[in-house]
């Protein structure tokens, strides 16, 4: 299938965002409610949870709630609080050698479900470049102009907890944190709904990979590459194979940032077929304020100094 991605600049959500939300309403409901194993919270409970754990987002949340009007179901989804379980496959690695620091990542997911937007925003004056995802505020990966990068992979578990979607937590980190230490503190403090792995990196080269999940104590590691598991003993073979390949590449003295990126475009890290293909590869360079979005045969460069709106269409087998 063909999928068209767009690069857009939108300082704050407005009427254009509302049109997108309305058009994608059915998919957002499917994501949020799914086959929930616990009752969904009320809009009042959602707002209270957001106020308790991420109060800096409340003005932005209330703004989009005002845009959709008196719609309790929408207000619940927009909170990202207690979403249903979902699955996806991703790989990411930290590079600290020449041309670094950098974070390289693949995102694997059904093309029809993923939002088409790579965007630059400035909700509170701090510019953020991110791969946006449903239904408001979500970030699969991104970077702010202070030089902080954050990216997420699935943790491997299916337990559903009383917390938030990781994609809103990534947005929160990029909106409020400037350094890895601040990001780690925030990610450990905020309850997460599902098992997730997050890698954060800043322009100084400080980094951390966190294993998060409902009902478990956050684990902070110095792991430079992670895929879709937390405990090696329970790792799916394909997830373990991808992680081992990346860790070996990082330890190889002949590896460069360019050759590491090439590894992300080849199996087993890259998935070219099936229902969960690699939708894009991203190379974040926080010291330069630059990110390259990559597909086989295509490199789309964006930066805070030169963010260019446009679109690109890719064919997935």
Q: Do residue 47 and residue 145 come from a single domain? A: no
67 and 190 assigned to the same domain: no
Q: Could you tell me if 41 and 153 lie in one domain?
A: no
Return the closest-CA partner of residue 206 out of 131, 146, 124, 140: 146
Residue 70 within a domain: yes
Q: Determine the Cα–Cα distance for residues 78 and 75; give it in Å rounded to an integer.
A: 5
- 118 with 302: CB under 8 angstroms? yes
Place of tokens 């308790």: 52
Considering the domain architecture, whether residues 100 and 205 belong to the same structural domain is answered as yes
Domain annotation covers residue 84: no
Tell me how far apart the terminal alpha carbons of the chain are, to the nearest angstrom.
6
At 80-139, the pLDDT tens digits run 999 988 776 799 999 999 999 999 999 999 999 899 999 999 999 999 999 999 889 999
37, 53, 79 — which closes off a domain? 79
What is the chain's mean pLDDT, rounded?
A: 94
pLDDT at 37 over 50: no
In this structure, the answer to whether residues 73 and 96 fall within a common structural domain is no
> Residue 209: inside a domain, yes or no?
yes
CB within 8 Å of 156: residues ≥ 6 apart: 195, 228, 229, 230, 231, 234, 235, 236, 239
Other residues' Cβ atoms within 10 Å of the Cβ of residue 220: 14
Tens digit of each residue's pLDDT (9 = 90 or more) over 192-223: 999 999 999 999 999 999 999 998 999 999 99
Q: What is the pLDDT of residue 76?
A: 96
Exposure of 42 in the CB half-sphere (CA atoms within 13 A):
3
CA–CA gap between residue 139 and residue 150 (Å, rounded): 9
| Boundary (domain end) residue, out of 19, 53, 79 | 79
Q: Are 64 and 162 contained in the same domain?
A: no
Q: What is the pLDDT of residues 229-284, one digit of tens each?
A: 997 767 889 999 999 999 999 999 999 999 999 999 999 999 987 888 999 999 99
Does 187 have pLDDT greater than 90? yes
Residue 155 within a domain: yes
Long-range contacts of 52-61 (CB under 8 A, 24+ apart): 53/164, 53/189, 53/190, 53/191, 54/164, 54/168, 54/169, 54/172, 54/190, 56/124, 56/172, 56/175, 56/176, 57/137, 57/168, 57/171, 57/172, 57/175, 60/12, 60/13, 60/123, 60/124, 60/137, 61/136
Confidence of residue 38 (pLDDT cuts 50, 70, 90): low
Mark whether 27 and 106 lie in a shared domain.
Answer: no
30 CB contacts (<8 Å, ≥6 apart)? none
Domain that holds residue 29: 2-79
- Side-chain-facing half-sphere of 295: CA atoms under 13 Å: 16
Which residue among 50, 79, 108 closes a domain?
A: 79
Our count of domains for the chain comes to 2
Does the pTM of the predicted model rise above 0.85?
yes
């Amino acid at each position: 299938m063909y999928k068209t991605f767009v690069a857009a600049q939108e300082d704050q959500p407005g009427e254009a965002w509302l049109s997108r939300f309305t058009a994608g309403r059915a998919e957002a409901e499917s994501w949020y409610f799914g086959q929930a194993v616990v009752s969904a919270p009320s809009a009042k409970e959602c707002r209270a949870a957001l106020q308790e754990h991420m109060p800096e987002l409340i003005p932005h949340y209330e703004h989009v709630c005002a845009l959709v009007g008196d719609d309790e179901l929408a207000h619940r989804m927009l909170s990202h609080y207690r979403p249903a379980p979902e699955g996806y496959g991703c790989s990411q690695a930290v590079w600290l050698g020449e041309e670094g620091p950098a974070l390289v990542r693949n995102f694997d997911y059904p093309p029809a479900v993923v939002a088409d937007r790579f965007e630059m925003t400035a909700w509170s004056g701090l510019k953020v470049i991110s791969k946006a995802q449903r239904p408001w505020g979500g970030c699969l990966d991104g970077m702010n102009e202070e030089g902080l990068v954050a990216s997420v992979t699935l943790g491997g578990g299916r337990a559903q907890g009383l917390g938030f979607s990781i994609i809103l937590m990534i947005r929160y980190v990029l909106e409020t944190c400037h350094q890895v230490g601040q990001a780690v503190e925030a990610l450990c403090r905020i309850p997460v709904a599902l098992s997730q792995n997050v890698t954060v990196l800043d322009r100084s080269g400080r980094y951390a990979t966190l294993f998060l999940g409902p009902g478990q104590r956050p684990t902070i590691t110095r792991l430079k590459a992670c895929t879709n598991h937390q405990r090696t003993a329970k790792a799916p073979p394909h997830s373990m194979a991808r992680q081992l390949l990346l860790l070996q590449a990082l330890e190889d003295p002949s590896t460069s940032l360019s050759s590491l990126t090439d590894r992300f475009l080849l199996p087993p890290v890259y998935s070219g077929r099936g229902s969960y293909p690699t939708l894009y590869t991203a190379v974040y360079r926080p010291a330069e304020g630059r990110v390259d979005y990559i597909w086989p045969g295509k490199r789309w460069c964006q930066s805070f100094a030169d963010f260019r709106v446009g679109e690109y269409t890719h064919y997935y087998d």
